[in-house]
Amino acid sequence: MNTRVPMTTATGIGPLPDLLEAAGGSRAVGRAFASVGLSLAVLEDRSLRIPLPAMIDLFDQAARLAGDARFGLEVGQAMPPGDYGLWVRYAMQSHTLLGALARLSRCIVMHQVGGTLLVIPRSTDHVVWEYRNCLQSRSSALQHNDHVLPVMIRMVRAYCGPDWTPAWIESAAPDPGDRSRREEAMSAPWRFERGGGSGIALPTAALAVRRRGPTPPGAPLTSAEVAAEIRERASEGAGARFAAIVALRLLDQETDIDGAARIAGIGRRSLQRLLEDDGITYRALLNNVRMERARALMSETELPLTQIGHTLGYSDQAHFTRAFRRHFGAAPSRMRLGRLIDPAAAD
């Protein structure tokens, strides 16, 4: 799988905005998002896919603005596992902890391309359940990795009981100088510069423990419900991933290729090469995303055509009209008036 364009889902932001606003005010939230090139519109639609580098940097910037070296841990402590969506609900319906961890490892691609979950033997009687991503070496990754740890602990507690704590916590990062406060916050010793990511240690025997209490609410899920999405994510090319980035940036009327490359964490030329390998140029990709959004806005809203053009980042109405006519073979005014838009878009 090509992970040079790692993507994740905005559900992973969790309560970060609320905690940052409480610590630094609403302006701090806007500054954090703007500094990493993310639109605040992702808070209205958490199903949006965003670049993993931007997510990692968002956690780092939020911690800086909040003045809190353990900000990532606090986000994770306030984040229910169910906030991650369908793949976690499917995993947590497993009867045993080992089954749940296996499902989480297999299905993480539904949430994130570029991240992995591993169960690693550490001794004859302990394993470490570890999260790592392809950007692990980034100095800004600590806060994002930290936020995963409390969520992982709560998942294990669904099987091992509400008082369960890890034998120890591992982090690939160097000691940030607050080991004792971290150990107090998590009720477990920390081992820094260990492993390839961030993880929690548990007895090997715990893997066989069966779930305590009821399964998560909602209809039972099976592999049939998740298999199609896993196949789609696993086979997804660079064009589809960058289409998600372009669509995200369009929410702020931003269309430049340099900004798209920056938010993806790669250079402009690397972006162009990846798209070339997928048989498309950035200009063509941008046009396709714009036109699909134009069609949706025309069929699903009452926005004036001039406003739609502005929303899509066109400098003037004439430019939007010419681009629309080239793509669809008719002017936007005619398509809206004649109801020639694909009926499926209006359902």
228 and 254, same structural domain?
A: no
Predicted model pTM: 0.81
228 and 112, same structural domain?
A: yes
Report which DSSP code applies to 115: E
Domain boundary among 167, 198, 233: 233
* Residue that is written with structure tokens 């972006």 in the block: 271
248 and 186, same structural domain?
A: no
Per-residue pLDDT of 76-101, as tens digits, reads 999 987 777 778 888 988 999 999 99
Q: Is residue 43 part of a domain?
A: no
For residue 145, give the H/E element and its range: helix 141-160
302 and 156, same structural domain?
A: no
The span from the CA of 42 to the CA of 64, in Å, is 21
Question: What's the domain range around 131?
Answer: 74-233
Q: Is residue 303 part of a domain?
A: yes
Residue type, 240: A
Domain boundary among 233, 268, 300: 233
295 and 186, same structural domain?
A: no
The tally of domains found in the chain comes to 2
- Range with the largest mean pLDDT of 37-51, 192-206, 238-252: 192-206
185 and 84, same structural domain?
A: yes
Per-residue pLDDT of 103-160, as tens digits, reads 999 888 888 888 899 999 999 999 999 999 877 777 788 999 999 999 999 999 999 9
Report the chain's mean pLDDT, rounded to a whole number: 87
Q: Is 240 helix (H, G, I), strand (E, B) or coil?
A: helix
C-beta neighbour count of 329 within 10 angstroms: 10
Which ranges constitute the DSSP H helices of 25-96?
A: 26-35, 52-66, 71-77, 86-92
205 and 248, same structural domain?
A: no
Torsion sign across C-alpha atoms 150, 155, 156, 161: positive
Q: Is residue 68 part of a domain?
A: no
Q: Is residue 13 part of a domain?
A: no
The span from the CA of 290 to the CA of 284, in Å, is 10
Torsion sign across C-alpha atoms 30, 33, 34, 38: negative
211 and 145, same structural domain?
A: yes
215 and 102, same structural domain?
A: yes
For residue 121, give the H/E element and its range: strand 115-121
82 and 193, same structural domain?
A: yes
Domain boundary among 233, 256, 280: 233
